[in-house]
């Protein structure tokens, strides 16, 4: 009996040990489950790693950037995982950085990112799995999560960001890792968020904007004035995807190519560049930084052109003496900063794209495919009326200088010579369409042969250059200097005067476009839909042009039957992107920098831009005027080249 009991006790002990011991079935089952769960999280982390690697593939291959553990951790946290951020080496952190100014939408939740300065590799990350924290390690082949749980309290100091706000306009919803989530009240206002980490502290000024929606109704009776504006730009590919760097210049049409140019400080002139070298850079900068090097190229007859890459934009308006926005012109139209009410809706047919900042940007119409557009009510819109093309453009080339040469075969864009003047707009148009710049060119269906679709600059294209100039990639809200040469010398004077006159260029250095303020009065390829008894459209225009002629890829029809050429009528006559109504001060006859804001009408049915240096102190890149298109001794032209367009398919 006693022996039996002893045997049973021994067997019970063995059973318990098999079930509960270090090598027990239960223990092994739990370990297997834990490994499975760790593997599942590891797989999630590596999917995020792979996505980040694909997003930054080009820079990673160049070793300019690598996938950061911080970004993987952020992705896991967004999926709901709990992760502790530990500083193993606190001496490596030298401060924090947060955007000084942030704009968020009233009534919505937004995230503000904080950057840790110094050696951020001193961070270690521990992810919560099955009630225990496991260390995450980033290797060359991806993320590895340690199976053995860690006691994070012994590993180092946990990162603890703190955020406070100075009023009730914003509430702090959460602080996770380096991300602060805030929610704004449903009214416009301002707040200051103070972010601290240890002894480091930074402030962020938050502007709460009451935004409209795409269904907001317009109220044209709203009073609105401004004194200046800022133009924000994002680069786009031809499918309207946001890209970090602008589209590369297109140098070739058919089998004929331009030669890339780079400035030689030693020779003090542009010289041929290796197309695979860093021969251009569209550089952001503070103030009038003058460091942007827009791409330059030279044709066979030594004409110089500058590349304007495809972009989208939005405008922020200000009154003098304050940097507090009073309004915006973007994908919603013209709307008020304090109420979100819309004064004018965006022109129909114009494309928009949402930026990474959540704002609704306008795809500049000069780069837009402008055929087959349909209004919201389903009616077809006239092709090319927005100043676009038959396909999406990666960019276009603008003549670096006003043109010289009396005929199409003689037309040239170069420095230190007198601009061609005293021609009707019809002659200018034909000469531009027949300009070959030393090449054979390509024959189009309109009967004209030109290199790379040469044509007089349209209002939309002028606006695209003006907006890029006004952005951080150009002069950054600083006015370009006027070309005061009363003999209309390109570049501001004879010979190489353009070097000393670089303040007259759109970049403030020799890489920019010249003569867009002053010099000669530049007539652009636009015309009005009505004319008076003088019939200037018909008599001064190119062959076949009448007020009823539809817009084409080479010229844009405007619609003004009011009998006036100034004032607030500009809002109904001007077009999105042409630097007329969007830069108008809202009252009187002036645009930004107090230059005239006139527009075509029946008596003077063509547009002129930039003004002349003779007898007009209001010349400027935003100057807009009206003209009869006749022979004047201060009128010239500028051309644009378009490489992406297949000229053989032209029907008009």
In a domain, 496, yes or no: no
The predicted model scores a pTM of 0.80
Q: How far apart are CA 285 and CA 294, in angstroms?
A: 14
For residue 610, the Cα-to-chain-centroid distance in whole angstroms is 24
In a domain, 161, yes or no: yes
Question: Would you say 463 and 366 are in contact if contact means Cβ atoms under 8 Å apart?
Answer: yes
Strands 200-209 and 228-236: unpaired
Question: What's the pLDDT at 648?
Answer: 37
In a domain, 296, yes or no: no
DSSP letters for 353-412:
EE-TTS-EEEEPGGGSB-SS-B-TTSPBPPTTTTS-BSS--SEEEEESS-EE-SSTTT-E
In a domain, 87, yes or no: yes
Residue corresponding to tokens 């400080």: 265
Q: Is 89 exposed, middle or buried (0-12, 13-18, 19+ CB in 10 A)?
A: middle
Question: Would you say 333 and 345 are in contact if contact means Cβ atoms under 8 Å apart?
Answer: yes
How many other C-beta atoms can be found within 10 angstroms of the C-beta atom of residue 317?
Answer: 24
List the chain residues with pLDDT less than 50.
Answer: 26, 62, 645-652
In a domain, 599, yes or no: no
Helix (H, G, I), strand (E, B) or coil at 194: strand
In a domain, 189, yes or no: yes
Strand ranges in 130-215 using DSSP code E only, listed in sequence order: 132-139, 142-145, 157-158, 162-165, 170-176, 179-184, 189-197, 200-209
In a domain, 153, yes or no: yes
Question: What's the pLDDT at 13?
Answer: 59
Structural domain tally of the chain?
Answer: 1
Domain that holds residue 52: 33-209
In a domain, 199, yes or no: yes
Angle subtended by helix axes 69-78 and 25-55, to nearest 10 = 110
Question: Domain holding 154: CATH number?
Answer: 2.60.40.1080
End-to-end CA distance of the chain: 113
Helices (H), 163-216: none
For residue 114, the Cα-to-chain-centroid distance in whole angstroms is 24
Question: What's the pLDDT at 61?
Answer: 53
- Closest by CA to 381, choosing from 344, 349, 345, is 349
- 587's CB contacts (< 8 A; 6+ apart) are 225, 568
Structure tokens at 118: 């110094």
Question: Would you say 183 and 171 are in contact if contact means Cβ atoms under 8 Å apart?
Answer: yes
Question: Would you say 153 and 169 are in contact if contact means Cβ atoms under 8 Å apart?
Answer: no
Question: What's the pLDDT at 24?
Answer: 56
Question: Would you say 389 and 642 are in contact if contact means Cβ atoms under 8 Å apart?
Answer: yes
Using only C-alpha atoms, the chain has a radius of gyration, in whole angstroms, of 31
How many other C-beta atoms can be found within 10 angstroms of the C-beta atom of residue 318?
Answer: 18
- Closest by CA to 511, choosing from 469, 482, 472, 481, is 469
Q: How far apart are CA 638 and CA 364, in angstroms?
A: 20
Q: How far apart are CA 623 and CA 608, in angstroms?
A: 8
Helix (H, G, I), strand (E, B) or coil at 184: strand
Question: What's the pLDDT at 645?
Answer: 43
């Amino acid at each position: 009996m006693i022996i039996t009991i002893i045997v049973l006790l021994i067997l019970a002990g063995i059973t318990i040990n098999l079930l509960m011991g270090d090598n027990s079935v239960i223990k092994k089952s739990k370990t297997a489950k834990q490994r499975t769960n760790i593997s599942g999280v590891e797989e999630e982390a590596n999917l995020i790693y792979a996505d980040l690697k694909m997003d930054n593939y080009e820079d990673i291959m160049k070793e300019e950037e690598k996938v950061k553990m911080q970004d993987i951790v952020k992705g896991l946290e967004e999926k709901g995982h709990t992760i502790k951020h530990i500083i193993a080496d606190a001496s490596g952190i030298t401060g924090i950085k947060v955007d000084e100014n942030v704009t968020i939408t009233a009534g919505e939740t937004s995230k503000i990112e904080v950057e840790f300065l110094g050696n951020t590799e001193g961070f270690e990350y521990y992810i919560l799995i099955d009630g225990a924290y496991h260390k995450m390690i980033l290797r060359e082949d991806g993320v590895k999560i340690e199976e053995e749980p860690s006691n994070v309290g012994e590993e180092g100091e946990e990162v603890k960001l703190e955020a406070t706000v100075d009023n009730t306009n914003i509430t702090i919803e959460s602080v996770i890792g380096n991300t602060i989530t805030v929610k704004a009240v449903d009214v416009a206002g301002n707040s200051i968020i103070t972010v601290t980490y240890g002894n480091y502290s930074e402030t962020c000024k938050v502007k709460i904007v009451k935004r409209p929606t795409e269904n907001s109704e317009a109220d044209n009776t709203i009073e609105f004035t401004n004194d200046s504006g800022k133009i924000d730009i994002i680069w786009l590919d031809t499918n309207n995807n946001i890209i970090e760097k602008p589209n590369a210049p297109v140098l070739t049409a058919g089998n004929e190519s331009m030669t890339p140019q780079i400035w030689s400080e030693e020779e003090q002139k542009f010289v041929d560049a290796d197309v695979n070298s860093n021969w251009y850079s569209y550089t952001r900068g503070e103030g009038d930084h003058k460091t942007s090097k827009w791409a330059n190229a030279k044709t066979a007859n030594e004409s110089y052109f500058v590349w304007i890459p495809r972009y989208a934009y939005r405008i922020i308006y200000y009154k003098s003496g304050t940097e507090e926005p009073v309004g915006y012109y973007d994908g919603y139209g013209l709307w008020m900063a304090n109420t979100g009410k819309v004064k004018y809706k965006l022109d129909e047919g114009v494309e928009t794209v949402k930026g990474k900042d959540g704002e609704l940007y306008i795809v500049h119409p000069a780069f837009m495919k402008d055929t087959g557009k349909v209004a919201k009510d389903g009616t077809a819109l006239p092709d090319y009326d927005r100043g676009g093309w038959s396909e999406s453009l990666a960019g276009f080339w603008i003549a670096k200088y006003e043109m010289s040469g009396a005929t199409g075969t003689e037309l040239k864009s170069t420095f230190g010579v007198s601009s061609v003047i005293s021609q009707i707009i019809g002659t200018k148009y034909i000469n531009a369409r027949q300009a070959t710049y030393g090449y054979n060119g390509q024959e189009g269906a309109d009967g004209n042969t030109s290199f790379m679709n040469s044509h007089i600059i349209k209002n939309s294209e002028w606006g695209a250059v003006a907006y890029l100039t006004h952005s951080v990639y150009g002069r950054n809200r600083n006015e370009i200097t006027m070309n005061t040469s009363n003999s209309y010398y390109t570049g501001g004077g004879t010979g190489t005067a353009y070097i000393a006159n670089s303040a007259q260029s759109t970049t403030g250095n020799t890489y920019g476009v010249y003569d867009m303020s002053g010099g000669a009065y530049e007539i652009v390829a636009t015309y009005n839909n009505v004319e008076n008894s003088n019939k200037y459209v018909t008599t001064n225009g190119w062959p076949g042009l009448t007020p009823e002629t539809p817009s084409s890829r080479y010229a844009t029809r405007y619609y003004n039957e009011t009998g006036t050429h100034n004032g607030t009528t500009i809002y109904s006559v001007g077009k999105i992107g042409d630097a007329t109504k969007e830069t108008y001060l809202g009252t009187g006859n002036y645009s930004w920098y107090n230059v005239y804001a006139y527009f075509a009408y029946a008596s003077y049915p063509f547009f002129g831009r930039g003004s002349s240096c003779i007898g007009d102190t209001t010349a400027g890149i935003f100057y807009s005027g009206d003209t009869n298109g006749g022979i004047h001794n201060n009128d010239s032209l500028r051309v644009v080249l378009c490489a992406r367009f297949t000229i053989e398919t032209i029907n008009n």
